[in-house]
Structure 1
Amino acid sequence: MLSRRALLKMSLVSTAATAVIGRRARAASANERIAVGVIGVGTMGRGHLNNLLGRDDVQVVAVCDVVRERLEHARDAVVKRYSDASKAGTFRGVAATADLRELLSVSGLDAVLIATPDHWHTIPCILAARAKKHVYCEKPLTHDIAEGRRLVDEVERAGIVFQTGSQQRSEFSGHFRKAVESVWNGRVGKLSAVRIGVGGPPRPCDLPAERVPEGTDWNRWLGPAPERPYNEVLCPKGVHSHFPAWRNYEEFGGGGLADMGAHHFDIAQWAMEVDRSGPVQVVPPEDPASGQGLKLVYANGVIMHHNAFDGDLRADCVFEGSLGTILVSRGGISSRPESILAEPLPDSARRVYASSNHVGNWLECVRSGAECICPAEIGHRTASVCHLANIGYRLGRTLPWDPAAEQFVGDDAANAMRSRPSRPEWSV
């Protein structure tokens, strides 16, 4: 274990910002490595870190976490990976800090990958955009609707390359891309319904207080969220291999609706070609407390159902049309009748954006300046669906929604829930 003094010494970074060309962030050339900082190195972030360390086109130059053991573990992994360069005298070291502002000031930094809890997504995204750093941020992109629009506006002003971590667009053997293309090309006929199988809404955090472990900056972990006592369920001690349950509590996450919903609602809206818009009405079930059965109605007449399936036709995403049904999950894709998918699509078929590696797509776009497969606007619109569903369950009444204005129609109480208060010291 590194001493606090050694850790602080490691975290000393230059305050000089990376040079930018005009309004846009610097694009890396084809022959140079992209300098990346990783913000949040828990289970998800550590997986991303290891992926980046395995790439020859990337140099990890900084890591950030509020738990000292995780920070040290991540730093050691970076040093080990670049040990040959270190022996040759070409390794300039890696900054390790609990303060994301310090990470963003690292000299030569090009981009950041953000894998923090949900309530900590928007702040680093906005600060990175202002610093002209390209961003990859895990899903759900935001913790409420209003901050999502702020984030998108900041990204557009900065001119950075932005990728939302909706990996199903790129990975899982192309099953979801095949489903979307099949819907686009009329294989199910006229689409009438989409059924999504994910968990329910979050609940208020009522976990008992526990002693904050040494080396954990609990106040910084809370950040913009309301004050709650430390509990290991939210922020496990040290390095761990599971996904913590902070996502089940409304102060920090959006429950299953926002966790896996951010994946499956994304695919649904992509297939419906409304991934830069959204529904026009939210209809809760008769028993909102059940946390299932809510409907999202779209202007084209398609209804998206949350956890309301027809018999045995169950999957992560189910697309129902006049000619049949397509069922797709991470493990595979099928149809009823089977003939819907029996023949490949013709060469003339409409095709989705081609990407088979989500982080790789982001890095390619950092070099080229092209738009990623899941940019900020789409990530925001997907997260908004999650938030709309949670608001619908909470209020228990039908809510007309204007996707262009991003407001509920004639409902002040619902509109007040488009945002949430932030602790003043964490406002950006």
Structure 2
Amino acid sequence: MNRRHFLRQSTATTLLSTVAGSVSLSASAANPNDRITIGVIGVGKQARYLMGRAMNLPQTQIVSVSDVVEPRKADAARLANEFYAKLNNQLDYSGVSQHDDFRDIIGRADIDAVIVGTPDHWHAIPVIQAANAKKDIYCEKPISLTIEEGRAMVNAVKANKVVFQTGSMQRSEFDGKFRLACELVRNGRIGKVLSVNVGVGDPNRPCDLPEEEAPKDTNWDMWLGPAPWRGYNEVLCPKGIHNHFPNWRAYREYAGGPLADIGAHHFDIAQWGLGTDDTGPVKIIVPKDETEMRGLKFIYANGVEMTHGGPGGTTFIGSSGIVAVDRAELITVPSKMRETNPITDQDLKLENTGGRAGVSHMANWLDRIADRGKCICHEEIGHRSASLCHLANIGYQLRRDLDWDPKEERFTNDEAANRLLSRERRGDWKLG
């Protein structure tokens, strides 16, 4: 019995029983020869967290890491090697290799899957190459820098029949409060949905950071990759090993700003609650005040209005009630909605992955690798949620109302806006 056959038959059952139970997950629960072998592409703060989550699930084996910063890469390999040495009661373990170039990981036949934890401008190319190499993929959110990239990623994943999970883990974790919020909305507990408020940060902006001397242990040209050339700045790529979220997230050349960084979570929940995972709005209406960084509205085909603004999280406003949810709490109006009109077996139930923090979303990916099914936040969902962020950024950048065709993924009234659906890529970096 080969590894893939074993996994398809046994991994989902094992994972479901361990995640649902009270026992502590341990990587020793599976034979090392039967584990899903994983390479980690980019090992900054978030990717190291994901690596740790994967190592602590029984069906995985981290075998390789890559990064453009030498000490960061070396330290991630050290952490993984020490984990496996302790797990196997060995004095030493050196089975986790290091690569300077992510393509070396993708090219390895002994690697089943990859975790892509790079900055946003470096998501599309590794994902597409990994899909073409038949690797299953966990990619941090937002999955893309542009709508063109996102659609190309979806197409590659589907064409190669690989399993893809977007890192928008609110669908899986936080004790299921986001799932319950969406079930209340989808089952009519607030009446007809009229509007949604999504409280996240500002749109992106052009990078204006001064140039600094690049550290000798950092491949700055590779960090930039397909992005336009500019000099190094520590804000974009911290020196050595860091324990904060770098602010490349703010800048248009590399990311979608706070709007997309957190919007990939809360717009995702808005889409889930509206049942629009495979589509999007038909109109973007920008604020009248051109200095305003909140207030952009999306209009959906059914008339629902979604606004970028309001309290943090996602708030659904209906004809007879309100559901507001963030990571801290789920609030309803009327306040006793869950008690007086609970979700029952006769209602629409959304996928329940267990709700365990730091476990359920990664475990869902591994379950689906085992049975070759669709993840709770699969490629199309990740693309559509990221697309809302990209559309908002385009609206704020151009400062004019736009008509959007969510099927064709084109603006129908503005060619300048259509040109912003894609980016030129530097040098020889191509999507295909």
Both structures adopt the same fold (TM-score exceeding 0.5): yes
Measure how far apart 1:27 and its partner are.
Answer: 6.0
**3-state SS in 1 of match to 2:95:** coil
Measure how far apart 1:108 and its partner are.
Answer: 1.4
Deviations 1:288-329 (A, max 9, x none): 32111000000011000011x4xxxx3411100011111101
The aligned residue for residue 386 of structure 2 is 383
Alignment check: 8 A CA contact 2:85 2:91 kept:
no
Q: Does 1:319 align with 2:316?
A: yes
Measure how far apart 1:81 and its partner are.
Answer: 1.3
- Report the TM-score, using the length of structure 1 for normalisation: 0.90
Measure how far apart 1:107 and its partner are.
Answer: 3.4
Moved more, 27-36 or 249-258: 27-36
Measure how far apart 1:340 and its partner are.
Answer: 2.2
Distance 1:316 1:75 in 2: 36
Identity of aligned residues (%): 47
| Correspondence 1:46-125 to 2 at 5 A | 46-83=48-85, 93-125=95-127
Segments of 5+ residues of structure 2 without an aligned counterpart are 12-29, 355-359
Measure how far apart 1:287 and its partner are.
Answer: 1.4
Alignment-mate amino acid for residue 426 of structure 2: R
Distance 2:329 2:141 in 1: 22
The aligned residue for residue 234 of structure 2 is 232
The aligned residue for residue 368 of structure 2 is 365
Alignment check: 8 A CA contact 2:67 2:73 kept:
yes
Distance 2:176 2:61 in 1: 28
The aligned residue for residue 340 of structure 1 is 337
Measure how far apart 1:64 and its partner are.
Answer: 0.8
**3-state SS in 2 of match to 1:425:** coil
Distance 1:292 1:234 in 2: 25
2:291 maps to which of 280, 289, 292: 289
Distance 2:243 2:3 in 1: 38
Alignment check: 8 A CA contact 1:254 1:390 kept:
yes
Alignment-mate amino acid for residue 340 of structure 1: M
Runs of 4+ in 1 over 4 A off after TM superposition: 26-29, 84-92
Segments of 5+ residues of structure 1 without an aligned counterpart are 1-18
Measure how far apart 1:228 and its partner are.
Answer: 1.5
Measure how far apart 1:118 and its partner are.
Answer: 0.5
Measure how far apart 1:371 and its partner are.
Answer: 0.6
Moved more, 238-247 or 27-36: 27-36
Moved more, 128-137 or 45-54: 45-54
Deviations 1:196-246 (A, max 9, x none): 100011111110111111210000000111111111100101111100000
| Correspondence 1:34-53 to 2 at 5 A | 34-53=36-55
Measure how far apart 1:84 and its partner are.
Answer: 5.4
Deviations 1:164-223 (A, max 9, x none): 111000011111101000001111100000001000111111101111112100000001
Q: Does 1:328 align with 2:325?
A: yes
Measure how far apart 1:395 and its partner are.
Answer: 1.0
Alignment check: 8 A CA contact 1:161 1:365 kept:
yes
Aligned length: 402
Q: 1:393 to 1:72 in 2, by over 3 A?
A: same
Distance 1:129 1:92 in 2: 28
Alignment check: 8 A CA contact 1:289 1:393 kept:
no
Distance 2:88 2:172 in 1: 34
Moved more, 348-357 or 88-97: 88-97
Deviations 1:56-100 (A, max 9, x none): 211001101111111000111111112157777996712201201
The aligned residue for residue 156 of structure 2 is 154
Q: Does 1:404 align with 2:401?
A: no
Q: 1:279 to 1:305 in 2, by over 3 A?
A: same
Distance 1:324 1:162 in 2: 35
Distance 2:303 2:413 in 1: 22
Q: 1:407 to 1:20 in 2, by over 3 A?
A: farther
Measure how far apart 1:410 and its partner are.
Answer: 2.7
| Correspondence 1:111-150 to 2 at 5 A | 111-150=113-152
**3-state SS in 2 of match to 1:76:** helix
Distance 1:386 1:196 in 2: 11
Moved more, 41-50 or 332-341: 332-341
2:428 maps to which of 414, 425, 428: 425
Alignment-mate amino acid for residue 427 of structure 2: P
Q: 1:149 to 1:20 in 2, by over 3 A?
A: farther
**3-state SS in 1 of match to 2:428:** helix
**3-state SS in 2 of match to 1:180:** helix
- Report the TM-score, using the length of structure 2 for normalisation: 0.89
Q: 1:137 to 1:268 in 2, by over 3 A?
A: same
Alignment-mate amino acid for residue 213 of structure 2: R
Distance 1:222 1:27 in 2: 38
Distance 1:143 1:27 in 2: 33
Distance 2:230 2:372 in 1: 41
**3-state SS in 2 of match to 1:288:** coil
Distance 1:94 1:62 in 2: 5
The aligned residue for residue 197 of structure 1 is 199
**3-state SS in 2 of match to 1:82:** helix
Moved more, 76-85 or 385-394: 76-85
Distance 1:79 1:95 in 2: 9
Deviations 1:16-64 (A, max 9, x none): xxx999xxxx969646211011111100011111112222211001101
Alignment check: 8 A CA contact 2:82 2:92 kept:
no
Q: 1:89 to 1:245 in 2, by over 3 A?
A: closer
